[in-house]
């Protein structure tokens, strides 16, 4: 008999903690739906007590998602736990994930609590949570740097209080695989009631070992839940990457002997959606989801793959959602073909109005670009932040002029709260001129901390995908825009970032 490995996705909580990756409620809901299609076992939807926005996001995900367990993080106190339970009301399956730091450093310097106080607080919070919901996860934050004797005491006590999952995070990415695996194994051996809970690993990637550490926690330590994020998104160097864990366990089933419930064909769509929503570009050589992950450049490799695929391929691109035939639609494709392609890509738009508006944008794009790839379609449906009329700023049109030896100029038309505004400016180059033209009207005062351009698909005919990261009054946001014209893509990305800054400011103001 094979064991099941539970996949706990925390893209919407730990992933969202990356600078600029914060998402709106609607964006989170769309990603949660994709995670459900991916068949993740647990979706950590947010941290309900952290803000009204996050509360609402957890609430709407809890109501919409039927197949995965929906989870909210909460600190180990009654207020946070009550708020999490409130947000999760009505969920088909709900989990509260409560945490407190247990390492000497965190207890003394951050919490300013004694170990005995942390011990009591852990017990009381799990007891309180267990009265509200049956499925309770307890995390010992900075668990890997905690004193084993103390950690065993805490874990034994919280299992007695009814914790059903025990998570031992490597919060700062300090672990190495063998030692982390042994650490989990020794905790499981030493805690007398360890068999009453499922053990979970949660590793950060500061030394590039999050996936290796998590796998060691599973193989050596006997953990049966892995906490991970799409594309390895997360603070600093990120979290353990979902696609790598899943494909490692599936591809090396001979070694791990574990089942995962994930529908791997949804992986690429999930990766694109997360990258386009957050503006965190996936590096081309990233395992499984990078553009080059299945590309064979060397003649010897190409020859081998053509003769027999498994000479150089250990996974099949189509099994993780890279479509075999990547040219999908063109100018003459109709609405039904477009809708069918969305379905094949795992994109479910919420209403016929959304399908119509995406189809209109598809037609516009098809007029300008002869071959439309899956990536173009995924970019298109992630573009609502500059296309939807509910947004403060919307792109209308742009013209720019640049010539060797002349100062580049741009003239832009965009909407502010539905009203058309025109503006023009000079700049170092056409992109600079366009963004200065927007800024001349909006006067956001935001500082640009990142600008990057990426070709969505291989050639110069490709759409450019631009990410702009803006910072203002301590808030950091990423805006993404795509278009065959990279100057237009840049303007869209800038407007999208301004929309996010604006909605973040409104959310903060509403809580004040
Ligand atoms: O890294 C960490 O310790 C966490 C906990 C809150 C689980 O994210
Ligand atoms: Zn974490």
Q: What is the CATH number of the domain that holds 453?
A: 3.30.160.270
Window from 210-214, 320-324, 450-454 with minimum mean pLDDT: 320-324
Average pLDDT estimate for 115-136: 98
Examine residue 283 and state whether it is found in any structural domain, yes or no.
Answer: no
Q: Which of 278, 301, 335 is the last residue of a domain?
A: 278
Average pLDDT over residues 297-310: 74
Tell me how far CA of residue 490 lies from CA of 260, 281, 404, 483, in angstroms.
Answer: 40, 15, 21, 9
Give the span between the Cα atoms of 429 and 118, in whole angstroms.
Answer: 57
The residue whose two tokens read 């002029």 is 401
409 and 366 within one domain: no
510 pLDDT band (50/70/90 cuts)?
very low
Mutate to test the pocket of ligand 1, among 44, 71, 144, 202 (most ligand atoms within 8 A of CB): 202
pLDDT at 123 over 90: yes
Q: Is 15 in the pocket of ligand 1 (CB under 6 A)?
A: no
Same-domain pairing of 23 and 157: yes
Q: How far is CA 347 from CA 223, 266, 302, in A?
A: 32, 10, 32
Does residue 508 have a pLDDT over 60? no
Is position 176 within any domain?
Answer: yes
Which residue, by CA, sits nearest to atom 8 of ligand 1? Answer: 14
Q: Whose CA is nearest to atom 7 of ligand 1?
A: 139
Report the C-alpha gap between 226 and 493 in whole angstroms: 34
pLDDT band, very low/low/confident/very high, at 512 (cuts 50, 70, 90): very low
% of the chain surpassing 90 pLDDT: 70
CA 446 and chain centroid, separation: 24
For residue 507, pLDDT beyond 80: no
Cβ contacts of 313-320, under 8 Å, gap ≥ 24: 314/251, 315/247, 315/251, 315/288, 317/293, 318/265, 319/264, 319/265, 320/243, 320/247, 320/264, 320/265, 320/267, 320/268, 320/288, 320/289
More confident residue, 153 or 378: 153
Taking the model in full, what pTM does it have?
A: 0.87
Q: Do residues 142 and 218 share a domain?
A: yes
Pair (345, 246) in one structural domain: no
Q: Model confidence at 389, in pLDDT bands (50, 70, 90)? A: low
Find the range with the poorest average confidence among 146-155, 194-203, 473-482. 473-482
Query: Cα(433) to centroid of ligand 1, in Å?
Result: 43
Residue 72: predicted pLDDT? 98
- 171 in the same domain as 36: yes
Residue with tokens 């609402």: 56
Give the pLDDT score at 325: 45
Measure the CA–CA gap between 183 and 179, rounded to whole angstroms. 6
Which residues neighbour 398 within 8 Å (Cβ) at sequence distance 6 or greater?
410, 411, 412, 413, 434, 487, 488, 491
**pLDDT-wise least confident of 240-244, 399-403, 459-463:** 459-463
Q: How far is the CA of 449 from the centre of ligand 2 (A)?
A: 24
Instruction: Give the H/E segment covering residue 86.
Output: helix 78-88
Contact 363, 398 (CB under 8 A): no
With a cut of 80, say whether residue 277 has pLDDT above it.
yes
pLDDT for 384 equals 57
In a domain, 82, yes or no: yes
**Average pLDDT of the segment spanning 238-263:** 98
**439 close to 454: Cβ distance less than 8 angstroms:** no
151 lies in the same domain as 240: yes
| 279 CA to centre of ligand 2 in angstroms | 20
12 lies in a domain? Answer: yes
- 386 pLDDT more than 70: no
Assigned domain for 510 exists: no
Of the pLDDT bands very low, low, confident and very high (cuts 50, 70, 90), residue 458 is low
| 269 & 337 share domain | no
If one counts the domains in the chain, the total is: 4
Whole-angstrom distance, CA of residue 210 vs CA of residue 428 = 41
Both 344 and 404 in one domain: the answer is no
Domain-located, residue 508: no
- The position carrying tokens 């700023």 is 393
d(CA 237, CA 206): 5
- Identify whether residues 163 and 117 lie together within a single domain: yes
CA 233 to ligand 2 center in whole angstroms: 11
Encode burial over 87-101: b for 16+ CB neighbours within 10 A, e otherwise: bbeebebbbbbbbbb
Q: What is the mean pLDDT of residues 178-206?
A: 98
Report the nearest atom of ligand 1 relative to the CA of 14: 8
Q: What is the mean pLDDT of the chain?
A: 91
* Domain enclosing residue 308, as ranges: 292-320
Q: Tell whether ligand 1 has an atom less than 6 A from the beta carbon of residue 16.
A: no
The per-residue pLDDT for 385 is 47
CA nearest ligand 1 atom 1, residue? 171
Whether 486 has a pLDDT exceeding 70, the answer reads: yes
Q: 335 and 313, same structural domain?
A: no
CATH number reported for the structural domain that contains residue 210 in this entry? 3.20.20.70
Q: What percent of the chain has pLDDT over 70?
A: 94
Write down which residue in 219, 244, 278 finishes a domain: 278
Confidence class for position 326, pLDDT limits 50, 70, 90? low
Instruction: Looking at the structure, tell me whether residues 179 and 266 fall in a common domain.
Output: yes
For residues 141 and 21, which has the higher predicted lDDT (pLDDT)?
141
Residue 341 reports pLDDT greater than 90 = no
**Distances, alpha carbon 39 to alpha carbons 234, 246, 458, in Å:** 21, 12, 30
Q: Is 99 in the pocket of ligand 1 (CB under 6 A)?
A: yes
Does pLDDT of 110 surpass 90? yes
Residue 509 in any domain: the answer is no
Q: Are residues 214 and 327 in the same domain?
A: no
Mean pLDDT of 431-460: 91
Q: Where are the alpha helices (DSSP H) in 263-334?
A: 267-278, 299-307
In ligand 1, the atom with minimum distance to the C-alpha of 141 is: 3
Q: Is pLDDT above 80 for 171?
A: yes
Q: Is residue 248 part of a domain?
A: yes
**504 CA distance to ligand 2 centroid (A)?**
23
Q: Which long-range contacts (CB under 8 A, 24 or more apart) does 148-152 make?
A: 148/183, 148/186, 148/187, 148/190, 150/102, 150/115, 150/119, 151/102, 151/187, 152/187, 152/190, 152/191
pLDDT given for residue 373 in this prediction? 79
Extended beta strands in 54-148, E state: 69-75, 94-101, 136-141
Highest mean pLDDT among 152-161, 445-454, 474-483: 152-161
Query: How far is 71 from 136, CA to CA, in rounded Å?
Result: 9
Shortest-distance atom of ligand 1 to CA 171: 1
**Ligand 1 pocket: which of 46, 49, 73 to mutate (most atoms within 8 A of CB):** 73
139 lines ligand 1 (CB under 6 A): yes
Distance 320 CA to ligand 2 centre (A): 26
């Amino acid at each position: 008999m094979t064991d099941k490995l539970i996949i706990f996705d925390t893209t919407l909580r730990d992933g969202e903690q990356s600078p600029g990756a914060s998402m709106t409620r609607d964006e989170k809901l769309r990603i949660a739906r994709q995670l459900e299609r991916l068949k993740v076992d647990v979706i950590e939807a947010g941290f309900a007590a952290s803000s009204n926005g996050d509360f609402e996001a957890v609430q709407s995900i809890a109501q919409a998602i039927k197949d995965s367990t929906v989870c909210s993080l909460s600190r180990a106190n009654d207020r946070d736990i009550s708020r999490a339970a409130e947000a999760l009301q009505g969920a088909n399956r709900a989990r509260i994930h409560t945490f407190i730091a247990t390492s000497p450093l965190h207890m003394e310097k951050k919490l300013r609590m004694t170990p005995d106080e942390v011990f009591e607080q852990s017990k009381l919070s799990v007891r309180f949570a267990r009265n509200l919901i049956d499925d309770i996860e307890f995390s010992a934050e900075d668990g890997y740097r905690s004193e084993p004797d103390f950690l065993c005491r805490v874990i034994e006590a919280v299992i007695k209080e009814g914790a059903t999952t025990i998570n031992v995070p490597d919060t700062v990415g300090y672990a190495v695989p063998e030692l982390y695996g042994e650490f989990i194994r020794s905790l499981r051996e030493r805690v007398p009631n360890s068999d009453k809970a499922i053990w979970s690993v949660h590793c950060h990637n500061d030394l590039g070992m999050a996936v290796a550490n998590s796998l060691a926690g599973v193989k050596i330590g006997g953990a049966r839940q892995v906490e991970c994020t799409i594309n390895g998104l997360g603070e600093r160097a990120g979290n353990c990457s979902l696609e790598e864990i899943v494909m490692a366990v599936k591809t090396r089933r001979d070694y791990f002997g574990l089942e995962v419930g994930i529908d791997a064909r949804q992986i690429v769509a999930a990766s694109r959606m997360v990258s386009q929503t957050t503006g965190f570009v996936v590096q081309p050589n990233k395992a499984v989801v990078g553009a080059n992950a299945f590309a064979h450049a060397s003649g010897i490799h190409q020859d081998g793959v053509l003769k027999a695929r498994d000479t150089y391929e250990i996974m099949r691109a189509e099994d993780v959602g890279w479509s075999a035939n990547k040219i999908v639609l063109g100018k003459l494709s109709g609405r039904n073909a477009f809708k069918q392609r969305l379905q094949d890509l795992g994109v479910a738009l919420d209403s016929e109005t959304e399908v119509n508006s995406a189809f209109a944008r598809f037609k516009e794009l098809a007029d300008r670009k002869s071959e439309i790839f899956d990536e173009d379609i995924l970019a298109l449906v992630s573009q609502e932040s500059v296309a939807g009329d509910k947004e403060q700023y919307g792109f209308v049109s742009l013209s720019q002029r640049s010539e060797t030896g002349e100062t580049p100029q741009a003239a832009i038309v965009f909407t502010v709260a539905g009203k058309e505004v025109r503006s023009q400016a000079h700049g170092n180059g056409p992109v600079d001129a366009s963004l200065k033209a927007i800024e001349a009207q909006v006067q956001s005062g935001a500082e640009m901390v990142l600008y990057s351009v990426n070709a969505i698909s291989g050639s110069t005919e490709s759409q450019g995908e631009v990410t702009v990261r803006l910072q203002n009054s301590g808030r950091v946001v990423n805006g993404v825009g795509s278009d065959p014209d990279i100057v237009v893509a840049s303007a869209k990305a800038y407007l999208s970032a301004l929309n996010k800054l604006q909605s973040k400011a409104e959310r903060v103001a509403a809580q004040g």
